[in-house]
Homo-oligomer: A and B are copies of this chain.
Amino acid sequence: MAIPHTPSGQVVSVLPLGDRLAQATSSAILKAGQLEVMRVVLRTGKSMREHHTPGEVTVQCIEGAVEFKAGGTTHMLRAGDLVHLQPRALHALTAVEDASLLVTICLAPG
């Protein structure tokens, strides 16, 4: 979470990092009263072990490829793929290519 949050009304780029992805780390984009947005960077072979959040989440793959496990199902997420999770839905991720993901979290508990 290396960069400051972007104020409401300000524009931030969530384009693919491309050549910069190899050196990038996960970063906060914004945290407001109801929504939190971050870019998660996951290097090939790295995982986020099973976890959940109190509120709903969308995960949008910006670049790369991630194996996404939720609800007993595994999907491969590639650029442009978006998935929604219900509150407290357990999920786990493993990057099969260097990847960045735009994660939008509803901060209200479900």
| Residues on A facing B (Cβ under 8 Å) | 6, 8-16, 29-30, 32-35, 37, 55-56, 58, 60, 70-71, 73, 75, 77, 79-87, 89, 102, 104, 106, 108, 110
A13 to B86, CA, bound (A): 19
A56 adjacent to B34 (CB under 8 Å):
yes
Contact A56 B33 (CB under 8 A): yes
Q: Nearest chain B CB to A53's CB is how many angstroms away?
A: 11
Given contacts A104-B104, A106-B106, A108-B108, contact A83 B35 (CB under 8 A): no
A110 to B33, CA, bound (A): 8
Q: How far is the CB of A106 from chain B (nearest CB, A)?
A: 4
